[in-house]
Amino acid sequence: MGIETRLENLPNEILFETFGYLHALDMFSAFGSLNKRISSIFQSTPLYIIISKIHCRNQVDFLSSYLTFHVHQVISVKIDDTIRDDTSIINLLFNRHDFINLQFCKFIRIHQSTKLGNFIQQLKTFDKLVSFNIINLNDITMNENDKYELVRIMLMHQPSSLRSIVLQYPYNYWNILNTISLSSNITSLYLYINGSSLFASVNSVLPYKSKYFFPMDLLDGYAWQEMLELYVPYLSKFEFHMSIWKYCPRTDLNIIVNSFKYFVTKYSNWHMIIDQWSLLHSIP
């Protein structure tokens, strides 16, 4: 006759390992009211919050009710600001809770009604933050002041623990050109730079020795190599996208590609795509 094994019979070490594979909502939904022993194990379990577009408001409220007693255990949040039946989920959670031990933070699709003021105040106190990531490609949805405050904190007052910055929303950085201070501890940096001040913005984030930094200089791989080695020597991930408008003559693409050979050896998964178009204006 077989021996029956119940979840409650497993040693604490196995339960800790099991809970490590679950995000907070699933864990509390499945085990939150099981028994006192499981509840006591929750007290020492790092929590990972994932809210995606498939979730509902009642699930978020259920999670929030548990966070009242467990928010200090949250080390990671990944939040889609728009779910099936509600919006501004970032506001909802950060207005209710202080995530004092947050290490990893990712926001997706920030809704136009969302104001990040309360989150930004908390962000200033996150002394354990390792990675900060915002993906919001729809330019019209984010408040301009929120954009500025996030850029200012990440590029001027970032915590010493921070290693990765991803600000994937359009911004031209013109209003902080002379005040950026990027720590050499940063190992991954992604900025979505747009606007007429493209060349000035890049020069401010990674200062270049030349007094004049023209848009075509951005296509010089040797210039990028010099800036990165000098100002962010520990950078292990490097991504950028550029679109430059110029007049004739046409650019020699072979020269540009050859200048970036350094990155082929430094970054094992380096890929480069480059193309150019001629715009024809019809005369009436």
pLDDT in tens, 157-189: 888 899 999 888 888 777 776 677 777 788 888
pLDDT band for 213, please (50, 70, 90 cuts): very low
CA atoms lying within 13 Å on the CB side of residue 279: 5
User: Who contacts 160 (Cβ-Cβ below 8 Å, separation ≥6)?
Assistant: 127, 183, 185
Residue 167 and residue 87 in one domain: yes
Domain boundaries, position 199: 195-283
Question: Are 240 and 251 in a shared domain?
Answer: yes
Q: Is residue 104 part of a domain?
A: yes
The pTM is what? 0.72
Strands 237-238 and 131-135, by their bridges, are unpaired
Mean pLDDT estimate for the chain: 81
240 and 272 in contact (C-beta within 8 Å)? no
Question: Residue 197 pLDDT more than 60?
Answer: no
**End-of-domain residue from the set 190, 223, 247:** 190
Q: Which H or E run contains 193?
A: strand 188-193
The residue among 241, 205, 209 whose CA lies nearest residue 222 is 209
Q: Are residues 130 and 91 in the same domain?
A: yes
Q: In whole angstroms, give the CA distance from residue 100 to residue 120.
A: 13
Do the domain assignments include residue 130? Answer: yes
Using DSSP's 3-state secondary structure scheme, residue 46 falls into coil
Which of 29-38, 76-85, 117-126 shows the lowest per-residue confidence on average (mean pLDDT)? 29-38
- The label of the residue with tokens 């039946």 reads 85
Asked if 53 and 186 sit in the same domain, the reply is: yes
Q: Are residues 104 and 123 in the same domain?
A: yes
Do 89 and 178 lie in one domain? The reply is yes
Taking the alpha carbons of 87, 88, 94, 96 in that order, is the dihedral positive or negative? negative
Which residue type is seen at 48? Y
Domain check: are 54 and 147 in the same one?
Answer: yes
> Of the candidates 190, 217, 236, which is a domain's last residue?
190
Residues 232 and 270 in one domain: yes
User: What is the four-CA torsion angle of 197, 144, 82, 46, rounded to 10 degrees?
Assistant: 90
Give yes or no: residues 179 and 250 share one domain: no
Domains held by the chain: number: 3
Q: CA–CA separation, 69 vs 195, rounded Å?
A: 45
Q: Both 150 and 58 in a single domain?
A: yes
